[in-house]
Amino acid sequence: MKPLETVPPEANSPASSVPDSIPRDIVRPNLDPNAPSGVRKFYKYIKIFRVTLVERMTYRGDFLLGTFLRFVPMATTVLLWKSIYDSSGRKSLGGFTYRQMIAYLLLTHISRMFSSMPGLAGGIARDIRDGTLKKYLLQPLDMIGYLISYRAAHKAAYITTSAFPYAIIFWICRSFFDVPSWTTIPAYAVSLALAFVVGFAFEACVGMIGFWFLEVTSLLYIVMTLNFFISGHMLPLDLLPRFWANLLESLPFQYMAYFPAIVFQEKIQGAALVRGLALEAFWACFFVVLARVLYARGLRRYGAYGG
């Protein structure tokens, strides 16, 4: 199995993270060299968002078949864990009851919906390699700003278009869920939003390595494959032996799948929850800053060597 396949949600987004040309009208509002107002600047990214959204909706055939197929692994996962619990004869494994386990695995899908960025790092690395990067230097666009609005659009399109099938799945599986208390919901929302930032900035950092090494895809494969397991997407980290569980819970990868899920399940509450969110925010800032630093340094290097 190749790791690219292990990025379940949204992998049918285009291989390239960046369209070949940015439509003219996206750039127009900002052509005025006198400092553009904040609103206008924002408008530009809204436009990118809209254009991308329209493009995504047009391909329904892909989407419908993809949705149908998405049910398959969910069904087999439910069946597998039912068998595991039945065979073990135990009520709870690693602190998860069967119901909680299924809820957890469905919730990691939601986490990954926010945190996975198929093709982002690869796209950045390719832009660096083939010189498309120059467009960010020539046009009044900030690359990270552009990419984040582009991604946000993809996510929004993906989440709206899959809201329906997911609603069906969650409705079918509603008996697995305990309704969280009203204080948990905002914490969950924050954890998901931060999961998006962590996922985006982490992938962007990996892509920036392309400034120094031409061949990043291979590294990417390894990172993504590994991430599938260490983010807790495959099974809750609590099931692992103590040592491994502790190790993986101290790494930032858990925020891309594991952490938001257990926030929803209220397995982490009170002071621990606040600390968890703070740590997640820290990692989000850390990767954003790192991406900026790498970008700035990379550009300097790029400028020095020519593209």
Partner 1 sequence: MAIIEADGLSKTYRVFQKREGVLGALRGLFHREYKEVRAVDRVSFTIEPGEMVAFLGPNGAGKTTTLKMLSGLIDPSSGSASVLGFTPWKRDDAFRRRFALVMGQKNQLWWDLPASDSFMLHKEIYSIPEAQFQSTLDELTELLEVKHLTRQAVRELSLGERMKMELIAALLHQPSVLLLDEPTIGLDVVAQVRIQNCLREYHKRRGVTVILTSHYMRDVEALCDRVLVITRGKLVYDGLLSGIHDRFAGMKLVRLEFFESVPEGLERYGEISRIEGPVVDLKVDRDRVAEALGAILDGHAVADLSVQDPPLEQVIARVFEEGRSDHEAA
Partner 2 sequence: MIDRTLRHARLIASLGRYTLAREMSFRGNYLVKLSVELLWLFILLAFYKTVFMKTSTVATWTEPQYLFFVGCHFALNGLIETLFMDGCVDFTELVRTGDLDFILLKPMDEQVLVTCRKIDWGTSLNVVMGGVVMALALYQMNWRFDPVRAVAFVVTFVCGTAIAYSFMLALTSFSVWLVRNQSLMEMWWLFSSLARYPREIFRSLAWAEPLSFLFTYILPFLLVVNVPANVMVRVFDPATVAFTLAATAASLWASRMFFRRALRSYRSASS
User: Which spans of this chain sit near partner 2 (rule: CB under 8 A)?
Assistant: 1-6, 8, 11-12, 14-15, 59, 61-62, 65-66, 69-70, 72-73, 75-76, 78-80, 82-84, 86-90, 93-94, 215, 218, 221-222, 225-226, 228-229, 234-235, 239-241
50 binds, among partner 2, partner 1, none (CB under 5 to 8 A by kind): partner 1
221 binds, among partner 2, partner 1, none (CB under 5 to 8 A by kind): partner 2
Decide: is 24 part of the binding site for partner 1 (CB under 8 A): no
What's the chain look like in SS3?
Answer: CCHHHHCCCCCCCCCCCCCCCCCHHHHHHHCCCCCCCHHHHHHHHHHHHHHHHHHHHCCHHHHHHHHHHHHHHHHHHHHHHHHHHHHHCCCEECCEEHHHHHHHHHHHHHHHHHHCCCCHHHHHHHHHHHCCCHHHHHCCCCHHHHHHHHHHHHHHHHHHHHHHHHHHHHHHCHHHCCCCCCCHHHHHHHHHHHHHHHHHHHHHHHHHHHHCCCCCHHHHHHHHHHHHHHCCCCCCHHHCCHHHHHHHHCCHHHHHCHHHHHHHCCCCCHHHHHHHHHHHHHHHHHHHHHHHHHHHHHHHHHHHHCC
Residue 179 has a CB neighbour count (10 Å cut-off) of 8
Q: At closest approach, how far in Å is the CB of 86 from partner 2?
A: 6
First and final C-alpha spacing in the chain: 35
Identify the CA nearest to 201 among candidates 127, 283, 82. 283
CA distance 135 to 20: 10
Q: At closest approach, how far in Å is the CB of 176 from partner 2?
A: 12
297 binds, among partner 1, partner 2, none (CB under 5 to 8 A by kind): none
222 binds, among partner 1, partner 2, none (CB under 5 to 8 A by kind): partner 2
35 binds, among partner 2, partner 1, none (CB under 5 to 8 A by kind): none
When the beta carbons of 73 and 307 are compared against partner 2, the nearer one is 73
When the beta carbons of 26 and 102 are compared against partner 1, the nearer one is 26
Structure tokens at 65: 């078949």
Q: At closest approach, how far in Å is the CB of 57 from partner 1?
A: 4
CA distance 144 to 260: 25
179 binds, among partner 1, partner 2, none (CB under 5 to 8 A by kind): none
Binding segment (CB under 8 A) for partner 1, from list 58-66, 110-118, 211-219, 250-258: 58-66
Decide: is 214 part of the binding site for partner 1 (CB under 8 A): no
When the beta carbons of 57 and 247 are compared against partner 1, the nearer one is 57
Decide: is 65 part of the binding site for partner 1 (CB under 8 A): no
Structure tokens at 196: 């998006």
Give the per-residue contact string, 26-55, with partner 1 (x = CB under 8 A; - = no): ------------------------x--xx-
268 binds, among partner 2, partner 1, none (CB under 5 to 8 A by kind): none
When the beta carbons of 93 and 257 are compared against partner 2, the nearer one is 93
When the beta carbons of 83 and 183 are compared against partner 2, the nearer one is 83
Residues making contact with partner 1 (CB under 8 A) = 50, 53-54, 57-58, 60, 63
